[in-house]
């Protein structure tokens, strides 16, 4: 004989998002850093979420961004194809450049990085897919271990992947330099030699523009970058435009001030000037 028992309505559990507008964020968290989670979060209105849900969603998006970096590397490999024995027969960089809308040089760098993730740095690729290391961190790791022996590179990779998920790019690079110096004794000698390899090269281009390339000790290039960034910030109310344009304006102002200074070099007693002739067809 069965007895009928009336069941009470379930109460809304404290801290459970199932009965609140935050439930899609919880569902996305269960999906992990995947495309499906991105679809779920894309449909959420941040204004309608609680503070905890917004924070969780932002953290999840960082992991999804890392996952997309791994997907991007996989597709870059597929577009570029296998590395050819003859460089002049390898058109992969051109294909990637067109697809990614970047220069051939930038595409070549992407391809080398993607090929390393598919082979030598496969653990880094797995960590990117799982959202534990982002694209800029993985790229910094690739560039640091590129000249090293495989065994040394793998040891550094293992050490860096351990805490990459909780480090920003600056802390990651500091830690990376320490591990490279520890695991690779000749690093210090190579670093000293590299610091002496200084280059400041100006390249005129056919379209009326030019490129200025600078390479030198990190503290010096950092000081230049900080000064230009500060100038771009203070000059915004008067100059407008983009930050990059204001940085260039700062360099031009420094050059003009120097060329017109009393102790500046002269040509036949006259200050140096820059004249550009447009040779139109």
Residue 193 has pLDDT above 90, yes or no: no
In the predicted model, is pLDDT for residue 121 greater than 90?
yes
The answer on pLDDT for 171 being more than 80 is yes
Q: 170, exposed or middle or buried, with CB in 10 Å at 0-12, 13-18, 19+?
A: exposed
Task: Please give the pLDDT value at position 271.
Answer: 58
Q: Per-residue confidence at 9, pLDDT binned at 50, 70, 90? A: very low
Q: For residue 192, what pLDDT band results from cuts at 50, 70 and 90?
A: confident
The distance from CA 33 to its chain's CA centroid, rounded to whole angstroms, is 19
**Tens of pLDDT along 157-166?**
999 999 998 8
What pLDDT shows up at residue 7?
38
* Global pTM exceeds 0.85: no
Both tokens assigned to 7: 């069941």
* Residue written as token pair 């082979």: 119
27-43: average pLDDT: 89
| H or E stretch at 270 | strand 270-271
Each residue's pLDDT tens digit, 236-262:
888 888 989 999 999 998 888 888 877
Per-residue pLDDT at 188: 64
State mean pLDDT over 219-235: 89
Mean pLDDT of 7-17: 45
pLDDT band at 209 (very low <50, low <70, confident <90, very high): confident
Instruction: Specify whether the CB–CB gap between 49 and 21 falls below 8 A.
Output: yes
Going by pLDDT thresholds of 50, 70 and 90, the confidence category of residue 76 is: very high
**Residue linked to tokens 């960590």:** 127
Q: Which long-range contacts (CB under 8 A, 24 or more apart) does 61-66 make?
A: 62/131, 62/134, 63/32, 63/33, 63/130, 63/131, 63/132, 64/33, 64/34, 64/37, 64/38, 64/131, 65/134, 65/135, 66/33, 66/128, 66/131, 66/132, 66/133, 66/134, 66/135
Q: Where are the alpha helices (DSSP H) in 81-149?
A: 92-100, 104-118, 122-129, 135-145
Are 150 and 116 within 8 A, CB to CB? no
């Amino acid at each position: 004989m069965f007895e009928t028992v009336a069941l009470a309505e379930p109460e809304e559990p404290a801290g459970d998002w199932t009965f609140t507008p935050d439930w899609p964020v919880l569902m996305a968290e269960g999906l992990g850093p995947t495309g499906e989670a991105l679809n779920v979060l894309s449909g959420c209105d941040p204004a309608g979420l609680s503070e905890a849900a917004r924070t969780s969603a932002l953290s999840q998006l960082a992991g999804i961004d890392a996952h997309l970096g791994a997907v991007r590397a996989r597709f870059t490999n597929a577009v570029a194809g296998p590395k050819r024995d003859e460089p002049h027969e390898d058109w992969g960089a051109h294909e990637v450049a067109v697809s990614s809308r970047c220069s051939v040089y930038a595409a070549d760098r992407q391809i080398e990085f993607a090929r390393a993730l598919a082979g030598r740095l496969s653990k880094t690729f797995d960590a990117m897919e799982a959202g534990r290391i982002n694209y800029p961190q993985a790229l910094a790791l690739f560039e640091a271990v590129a000249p090293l022996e495989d065994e040394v590179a793998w040891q550094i990779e293992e050490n860096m992947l351990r805490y990459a998920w909780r480090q920003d790019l600056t802390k990651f690079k500091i830690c990376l330099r320490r591990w490279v110096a520890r695991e690779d004794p000749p690093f210090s000698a190579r670093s000293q030699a590299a610091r002496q390899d200084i280059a400041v090269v100006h390249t005129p281009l056919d379209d009326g523009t030019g490129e200025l390339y600078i390479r030198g000790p990190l503290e010096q290039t950092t000081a230049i970058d900080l000064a230009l960034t500060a100038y771009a910030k203070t000059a915004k109310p008067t100059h407008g435009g983009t930050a990059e344009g204001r940085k260039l304006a700062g360099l031009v102002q420094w050059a003009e001030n120097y060329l017109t200074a009393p102790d500046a070099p002269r040509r036949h007693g006259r200050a140096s000037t820059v004249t550009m002739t447009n040779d139109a067809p």
